[in-house]
Amino acid sequence: MESGTEISSPNKGEPTLHHVHCDPNVDVTIISNDNVELRASSFQLSKFSGFFADTFSLPPPNNHRREPIHLDFKSETIANFLDLMLLPQLYQEHAISALRLPSIIGPLIVLSQFAMCKDDLIDKLRDALRDRCYLAPFQVLKFASDHEENDLAATAIKNFHRALGPIKLMGPSYSCEGERQQNAPRWEMICFDFAQLSSQCQMGLFTLLLLATYTNPQSEKSMEVMWNKIGEAFDPSSSMYDKIAKLQGWNGWNSPNYEDE
């Protein structure tokens, strides 16, 4: 898993030179965790990243050869990072929009944070990841789960109806064995995606599903409305009362009074 921390040189033999970031005239060598060598300019890295600015604040050795920097990120992530570094700021947003998969954008956010890049770049990446909730909510939720980002997780959950379609997650069981068999592959995929989440996220989401079933056992609300309510209520740290209140839409004037119970 990409942690963003610097690691010692792995014993994997000679790294493979990246096919794009391979300029022999630049002075920095970066080795990825999949043993790929990428080359970059210390001047450009220092302008783009606070981490590299601090790293290169001291002059290079007398032989002008810097030690390779080993980073716990895949070569694809580092290459995308260097691509953004080489672009004028005006074109960064367009390049980020071309990164369509959350599995690509997520690690790039982590690397940009680790490298202490400017907030506007990280904000653009976050906006792009949030936009991907529309098409790939499970992937975005996986990132949010790994990094305990409840707001992003809530946005992803609100879009679950797009990924799940009309499949029943609560209420009466299947009316016939044929319907159960027809949906079996989808259930296997849902179970696999669910198992990738952190235990805290799993518990929070499962609790809300149980509460939604208990509080609205015969609900005829659409899947979109149901998932929107679950997304609004998603906060693993909130109390059971707060979860129920958000699912039921209680507010100050119509919520049950604890003193009356």
CB atoms within 10 A of CB 103: 16
Residue 4 lies in a domain: no
Torsions phi, psi of 90, nearest 5? -60, -30
Q: How far apart are CA 56 and CA 61, in angstroms?
A: 11
DSSP character string of 46-104: HHHBHHHHHHTSSPPPTT--PPPEEBSS-HHHHHHHHHHHHS-HHHHHHHHHT---HHH
Q: Among 82, 103, 132, identify where a domain stops.
A: 132
Give all strands of the β-sheet with 69-70 in edge-to-edge order.
16-17, 36-40, 28-31, 69-70
Report if residue 3 sits inside a domain. Answer: no
Q: Is 253 helix (H, G, I), strand (E, B) or coil?
A: coil
Task: Give residue 6's pLDDT.
Answer: 47
Residue 2 lies in a domain: no
Q: How far is CA 24 from CA 28, 46, 223, in A?
A: 10, 19, 55
- Whether 203 is covered by a domain: the verdict is yes
Same domain, 177 and 73: no
* Main-chain phi, psi angles of 83, to 5 degrees: -60, -45
DSSP codes of every residue in 19-53: SSS--TTSSEEEE-TTSEEEEE-HHHHHHHBHHHH
> Per-10-residue mean pLDDT for the chain, 261 residues long?
47 87 94 97 95 88 80 97 94 92 96 94 95 92 93 92 62 48 65 85 88 64 80 86 79 52 42
For the chain, what is the domain count? 2
pLDDT at 239 (0 to 100): 82
Q: What is the pLDDT of residue 104?
A: 95
Residue 138 lies in a domain: no
pTM: 0.78
Residue 69 and residue 123 in one domain: yes
| pLDDT for res 70 | 96
Q: Is residue 157 part of a domain?
A: no
Residue closest to 139 by CA, chosen among 93, 174, 104: 104
Residues 100, 203, single domain; the answer is no
Same domain, 184 and 115: no
Residues 15-39: b if buried by 16+ CB within 10 A, e if exposed: beebeebeeeebbbbbbbbeebbbb
Would 163 be classed as within a structural domain?
no
CATH at residue 71: 3.30.710.10
What pLDDT, on a 0 to 100 scale, did the predictor assign at position 191? Answer: 79
Determine the structural domain holding residue 64 and report its residue range.
16-132
